[in-house]
Structure 1
Amino acid sequence: MTVIAWIVEGTWPACVDAARTHAPEDAEIVLLHVSGHEIPGIAHGAFAGLLGRGHPERDPGTRLEHLAATSANQLLQNAADRLGRPCTRIERTGRVEQEVVVAAQGAELLIVARDGDRSRLGPRSLGPASRFVVDHAPCPVLLVWPELAPDLAGTPMPPPPPEPGGDGR
């Protein structure tokens, strides 16, 4: 059994704790981090367009790529340390939501933490990338709260479904 825990800054401890709790002892656990390519790409473009093309060694996009890789490696190391058992660490780069869905191909479980508005229950507790992953994952998804879930008090509940045989009014 392969269990993938999506490691994201700010919410990764909840995913690691869920993997420790819910993955069987014999499961292969994969810690997955994806670095987006947008910010280094913007820096590369700004350097090429505005700052000149004669000195590629001064391209700030390259420095941002190195900083992202260093940060991702440290984050994955911290996650592996917290997990406390053998695991595989994978770092990918690209469109985050698409890379997570592709990485989940063949897995038996994907662990995702809520990353949107966590002050209340509901669909807005998922950010855009997490929503895409939950909607398109090719395997079951365990969705976890990074902290205690908000209280149900004050949360509007949907109306009950119409009774069978009724006219829906």
Structure 2
Amino acid sequence: MRVIVWLVEGTWPACVDAVRAYAPTASEVVLLHVSGPDVPGVAHGAFAGLLGRGRPERDPGTRLEDLGGSTAAELLGAAAERLGRPCVRLERTGRVEREVVAACEGAALLVLARDGDRARLGPHSLGPAARFVVDHAPCPVLLVWPEAAPDLTTMPPPPPPHHR
């Protein structure tokens, strides 16, 4: 059984804890971190377009790419340590939601955390990327709260009855 664990800054500990609690010990666990291309790309563009003929070694986009890689490696390392069992560490770059879905090919389970409004129950507890992944994942999904779930009183009211 291959279990993909989507790690996102701020919510990853809950995902790792869920794997420890629910995934069979014999599972192959893949810790996945995806970096979007946006920030380094914007910096590259600004350097090229606004700063003109600067020296390539001064391009801030390259530095941001390097920082992003080290941050991902640190996060993957911390998650592997918290997991406390053998795992695969996978770093991908691209459109985050699509990279996560692609990484799930052949997986038996995807674990991810809610990333939207975590103060109340309901559909807004998922941000756009997580919603896309939940809707398109080619495997079962375990969706966890990064902290204690909100009280049931935060659930939206039922729709009004229809009159005919």
Quick check: TM above 0.5?
A: yes
The alignment of Structure 1 onto Structure 2 pairs a total of residues equal to 164
Q: Can you list the C-alpha shifts for 1:84-116, whole angstroms capped at 9, x where unaligned?
A: 000000000000000000000110000010000
Which structure: larger Rg? 1
- Cα 1:20–1:154 shift into 2, 3 Å: closer
Shift in Å, 1:158: 2.6
Shift in Å, 1:52: 1.8
Counterpart position of 1:137: 137
Q: Can you list the C-alpha shifts for 1:12-43, whole angstroms capped at 9, x where unaligned?
A: 00000011111101100000000010010000
Partner of 1:118, secondary structure, is coil
Say whether the 8 Å CA contact 2:29–2:86 is kept in structure 1: yes
After superposition, where does 1:95-134 map in structure 2 within 5 Å?
A: 95-134=95-134
RMSD: 1.5
After superposition, where does 1:55-74 map in structure 2 within 5 Å?
A: 55-74=55-74
Distance 1:154 1:87 in 2: 37
For 2:158, the aligned partner's letter is P
- Cα 1:154–1:107 shift into 2, 3 Å: closer
State the TM-score, normalizing by the size of structure 2: 0.95
Distance 1:28 1:55 in 2: 45
Q: Percent identity?
A: 73
- Cα 1:63–1:149 shift into 2, 3 Å: same
State the TM-score, normalizing by the size of structure 1: 0.93
Distance 1:88 1:129 in 2: 23
Distance 2:147 2:33 in 1: 20
Distance 1:90 1:121 in 2: 31
For 1:72, the aligned partner's letter is A
In structure 2, the gaps of 5 or more residues are none
Shift in Å, 1:154: 4.4
Distance 2:115 2:42 in 1: 24
